[in-house]
Amino acid sequence: MKFIPLILRHLRRNWMRTASTVIAMTVCIFLFCTLQTFLKAVNWNLQSASSSRLVVRHRVSMVFNVPVSYKARIQSIPGVETVVASNWFGGIFRDMRNFFPNMAVEPEPYLAMYPEFILPDDQKKAWFADRRGCIIGRRTAERFHFKVGDTIAMDSFIPPYRIGHPWEFRIDGIYDTDPVRYPGTDLTMMYFNWDYLYETLHAIRPNSSYTAVGNYMVKISDPNKAGQVSKAIDDLFENSDVQTRTETESAFRAGFLAMIGNLALLLNSIAIAVMFTILLVVANTMSMAVRERRKEIAVLKTLGFSSALVMSLILGEAMAIGLMGGGFGILLGHWMIQALPNLPFLGDAVRGFPELGLTLPTAAIGMGTALALSLAAGIIPAWLAYRARITEMLRQI
Amino acid sequence: MATGQVAQTGTRIAVDVQQVRKIYQRDAQQITVLDGIDLRVPEGEFLALMGPSGSGKTTLLNLIAGIDRPTAGRVVIDGTDISTLGEGALARWRSRNVGFIFQFYNLIPVLTAIGNVELPLLLTKLSAKQRRDRAMTALRVVGLEDRAHHYPRQLSGGQEQRVAIARAIVTDPKIIVADEPTGDLDHKSAEEILELVVTLNREFHKTIVMVTHDPRAARHAHTERHLEKGVLESNGAQAGAK
């Protein structure tokens, strides 16, 4: 403890250099924390995927639809319990900044397939009976102060779903979840009646390939047979005009994210590149600090400071830089992650991740990384100071 | 008084250098800097080591201060053979037993005068207040208590050397080694510093070994010994002994 003022004094010696290094470390840890939080939010979303649910989609791309007629044929395959049609709607409530994910689904079988959505019975019944009805997750309802019974109007950004006027939906229910039993359940979604979408489009463009099903959600009786059932479904449509690709729900979600590339690899590569750069920056700072202080190191050793103590003081300086940079980086990351959903452009990209927030473990890993980086950067200059002989250092002056 | 006379009175030997050799290896060449040095300095002595540049006087001083090791022979300081001590033990020994005064002061520029003086005390178990008090006492001895909170850049050369002397005596070591302590000072400042060193010897009974090639500085010592090409002249000459 009594050496801390000495360490801080040395850091203040060239405050511009110290400040630059601390800022570099701050940016590094800020990026690390933000990217890791983003990845965590993505992974959190995958947690809620069930191994007993499959997703059937167009083999070429999920932007193409599959025929309505496939439902009965999928239902006939052994091992399949329920088949539910669903379409990604891409509806926007007033403004892009208000985006929340929304899908058309078949209400009753869908809720049966997703026990994680908890809804009072009267709201369930109201939705099942309401062609224009919808249910909304608690988070979105709170965000926009939606109440049961409200009517909302939305336009879709998907061209085939633009019909010249807004789609109107009545809120029949607000769903919750049990976060302990069903971690990762998204409470920002809106689900509306698939019949409403299909019938409206069919009335306008009956022969359009978009007047069809986006994908089928399939509940299977035995999760261990997911591969077998998936193959059976795809084999069934092998010789059809529209071939399918069937995969587990988690694989489907991961694939959805993979559309923008291997996100984890990309983000981790960025983080590693930044860290390596910072390692060099801090190492350079420490090397310069030690090189210009050779005389003082010799004096300290002459006064009786052991080589190990001198080494510790230099490592202490490096770690103080890491501690400051890590602390500021975590604070900046925390602030930025809070602010991110409200930023233009970037906000739209992250708003779909409801659990976006800097967690204590991520912050701890960030701080650990900062300290490890600074320790690694300081170890060689510290070792050189440890080994340097007093007489040689004094002679070089 | 001469070294021999002191020894005859039974005074304890503070510095006992026995058959010391120091050889530096430079590429394939071996350079003998000290060759069979024998030197005994009684407790309370003020010895001036003189000689031309390259004669080995700073090397001998470094061996006595425990910041270098002999190639052969023994260096016994106040009964401890420091040539056998390990790196850590030698550092501890230096912190307790030797005060070092450099030619160029070598103060830490980011620390104030009192901060510099307090440095050796960081290695002790004293409390912060005790350290401060002792450092202030040392500054008072060298007459710089009013400059305690000045940084080295705010002090003159003579004042910097006084701070360095305060740093050398703050742990109350028995031996003080000084390497050309007046080499970087003007005549007036040099005289003041030498007076201070004499005071440390006379009033605080410190054993002092000072390297200098300035005969005026050497006259303040009790004894002068001359080194020539790594060999110590056989007899010490009695100096001015103020």
**Interface size, chain A vs chain B, as Cβ–Cβ contacts under 8 Å:** 61
Among candidates B94, B104, B108 on the partner chain, residue whose Cβ is nearest the Cβ of A304: B94
C-alpha distances out from residue B39 to A21, B17, B205, Å: 52, 5, 20
Q: If you average pLDDT over residues A303-331, what whole number do you get? A: 93
Residue A53 lies in a domain: no
Q: Is residue A50 part of a domain?
A: no
Chain A residues within 8 A (CB-CB) of chain B?
Answer: 2-3, 6, 9-10, 12-13, 295-296, 298-308, 389-391, 394, 397
Which of A3, A13, A303 comes nearest B120 by C-beta? A303
8 A C-beta contact, residue B77 and residue B89: no
Pair A159, A102 in one domain: yes
Alpha-carbon distance A302 to nearest alpha carbon in chain B (angstroms):
6
A296 vs B111: CB contact, 8 Å cut-off? Answer: no
**pLDDT value of position B242:** 42
Per-residue model confidence (pLDDT) at position A34? 86
User: Residue B4 pLDDT > 80, yes or no?
Assistant: no
CA distances from A281 to A293, A367, B236 (A): 18, 18, 57
Q: Both A214 and A330 in a single domain?
A: no
B61 pLDDT tier (thresholds 50, 70, 90): very high
φ/ψ (deg, to 5) at B72: -150, 160
> Which chain B residues are Cβ-neighbours of A304 within 8 angstroms?
91-96, 120, 123
Q: B102 at the A interface (CB within 8 A)? A: yes
Contacts of A298 in chain B (CB under 8 A): 106
Say whether both A219 and A291 belong to one domain. Answer: no
Ramachandran class of A149: left when φ > 0, alpha when ψ lies in -120 to 50, beta otherwise: left
Based on the fold, state whether residues A116 and A139 are members of the same structural domain.
yes
Kindly report the average pLDDT of chain A as a whole number: 87
Query: Quick check: B87 and A306 CB within 8 A?
Result: yes
Q: Is the pLDDT of residue B210 over 90?
A: yes
Q: Which of A200-209, B145-154, B226-235 has the highest mean pLDDT?
A: B145-154
- For residue A256, is it within any domain? no
Q: Inform me whether the pLDDT recorded for A1 exceeds 80.
A: no
Q: Measured between CB atoms, does B57 come within 8 Å of chain A?
A: no
Domain with residue B59: its CATH number is 3.40.50.300
| Beta carbons of B207 and B227 less than 8 angstroms apart | no
Can you read off the two tokens belonging to residue B215? 């005969």
Cβ within 8 Å, pair B67-A303? no
More confident residue, B10 or A144: A144
Asked if residue A122 and residue A8 are part of one domain, the reply reads no
**Out of A3, A302, A307, whose CB is closest to B87?**
A307
Dihedral sign of CA atoms A17, A23, A28, A33 in order: positive
Tell the residue number behind the tokens 């490890």, with chain if given: A372
A307 to B91: CB separation less than 8 angstroms, yes or no:
yes
Contacts of A18 in chain B (CB under 8 A): none
Q: pLDDT higher for A338 or B176?
A: B176
Of the candidates B88, B96, B106, which has its C-beta nearest A295's C-beta? B106
Query: What residue numbers bound the domain in which A170 lies?
Result: 60-242
Residue A248 lies in a domain: no
Comparing C-alpha atoms, which of A87, A84, A130, A72 is closest to residue A109? A84
Residue B2 is predicted with a pLDDT of: 36
Confidence of residue B1 (pLDDT cuts 50, 70, 90): very low
Question: Are A366 and A293 contained in the same domain?
Answer: yes
- Secondary structure element (H or E) that encloses residue B94, with its range: helix B87-97
Does B87 contact chain A (CB < 8 Å)?
Answer: yes
Residues A99 and A236 in one domain: yes
The answer to whether residue A312 is domain-embedded is yes
Residue of B102, B114, B125, B170 for testing the chain A interface, max A β-carbons within 10 Å: B102
pLDDT over 60 (residue A110):
yes
% of chain B exceeding 90 in pLDDT: 64
CA distance B132 to B145: 12
pLDDT over 90 at A208, yes or no? no
3-state per-residue secondary structure call for chain A = CCCHHHHHHHHHHCHHHHHHHHHHHHHHHHHHHHHHHHHHHHHHHHHCCCCCEEEEEECCCCCCCECCCHHHHHHCCCCEEEEEEEEECCEECCCHHHCCCEEEECHHHHHHHCCCCECCHHHHHHHHHCCCEEEEEHHHHHHHCCCCCCEEEEEECCHHHCCCCCEEEEEEEEEECCCCCCCCCCCCCEEEEHHHHHHHHHHHCCCCCCCCECEEEEEECCHHHHHHHHHHHHHHCCCCCCCEEEEEHHHHHHHHHHCCCCHHHHHHHHHHHHHHHHHHHHHHHHHHHHHCCHHHHHHHHHHCCCHHHHHHHHHHHHHHHHHHHHHHHHHHHHHHHHHHHHCCCHHHHHCCCCCCCCCHHHHHHHHHHHHHHHHHHHHHHHHHHHHCCHHHHHHCC
pLDDT band at A13 (very low <50, low <70, confident <90, very high): confident
The verdict on B151 touching A (C-beta cutoff 8 Å) is no
Percentage of chain A beyond pLDDT 90 is 50
Of A138, A134, A209, the residue nearest A170 (C-alpha): A134
Q: Which residues have C-beta within 8 Å of that of residue A146, sequence separation ≥ 6? A: A136, A140, A152, A171, A174
When divided into structural domains, chain A yields a total of 2
Q: Which helix (H) or strand (E) holds B60?
A: helix B57-65
10 Å Cβ neighbour count for A88?
17
- The answer to whether position A196 is within a domain reads yes
Q: Is the Cβ pair A304, B120 closer than 8 Å? A: yes
Which residue type does B176 have? I
Distance CA B60, CA B77 (A): 13
Confidence band for B241, pLDDT divided at 50, 70 and 90: very low
3-state secondary structure of B76: strand
Minimum CA–CA partner of B96 in chain A: A304
Are A391 and B62 a contacting pair at CB < 8 A?
Answer: yes
The ipTM value here is 0.88
Same domain? For A100 and A222 the reply is: yes
The answer to whether residue B31 neighbours chain A at the CB level (below 8 Å) is: no
Chain B nearest CA to A375, separation (Å): 23
Q: Does B68 contact chain A (CB < 8 Å)?
A: yes
What are the pLDDT digits (tens) for A370-385?
999 999 988 988 998 8
Nearest to B192 by CA among B202, B207, B182: B182
The per-residue DSSP string of B186-235 comes to -HHHHHHHHHHHHHHHHHS--EEEEE-S-HHHHTTSSEEEEEETTEE-SS
Question: How close does chain B come to A288, measured CA to CA in Å?
Answer: 16
Does residue A15 sit in the same domain as residue A135? no
SS3 B52: coil
> Hey, how many other C-beta atoms are within 10 angstroms of the C-beta on A248?
20
Q: What is the pTM for the complete model shown?
A: 0.70
pLDDT digits (tens, 9 = 90+) for A213-255: 999 999 999 988 888 999 999 999 999 989 999 998 878 777 6
Residue B224 β-bridge partners: B48, B237
B87 CA: distance to closest CA in chain A (Å): 8
Shared domain for A355 and A391, answered yes or no, is: yes
Cβ distance of B96 and A304 shorter than 8 Å: yes
Q: Stretch B118-138: mean pLDDT, rounded?
A: 94
Has residue A324 been placed in a domain? yes
In DSSP terms, A84 is beta-bridged to A217
Q: Percentage of residues in chain A with pLDDT exceeding 70?
A: 93
- For residue B166, the model assigns a pLDDT of 95
CB of B25 within 8 Å of a chain A CB? The answer is no
With CA atoms as reference, the chain B residue closest to A386 would be: B87
Residue A225 burial (C-beta neighbours within 10 Å; 0-12, 13-18, 19+): middle
Question: Chain B contacts of A390, Cβ < 8 Å?
Answer: 62, 67-68
Given an 8 Å threshold on Cβ–Cβ distance, is B122 in contact with A3?
yes
Cα–Cα dist B174/B159, whole Å = 23
Domain end (from A242, A273, A295): A242
Among A242, A277, A295, the domain-final residue is A242
Q: Compute the distance between CA of residue B151 and CA of residue A9 in angstroms, rounded to an integer.
A: 12
- My answer on whether A227 and A294 are in the same domain is no
The pLDDT score that the predictor gives to residue A344 is 65
Mean of pLDDT over chain B: 88
Q: Which residue has the higher pLDDT, A239 or A395?
A: A239
Q: What is the count of structural domains for chain B?
A: 1
Q: Could you list the residue range(s) of the whole structural domain that residue B21 is in?
A: 3-238
A209 and A82 in a common domain: yes
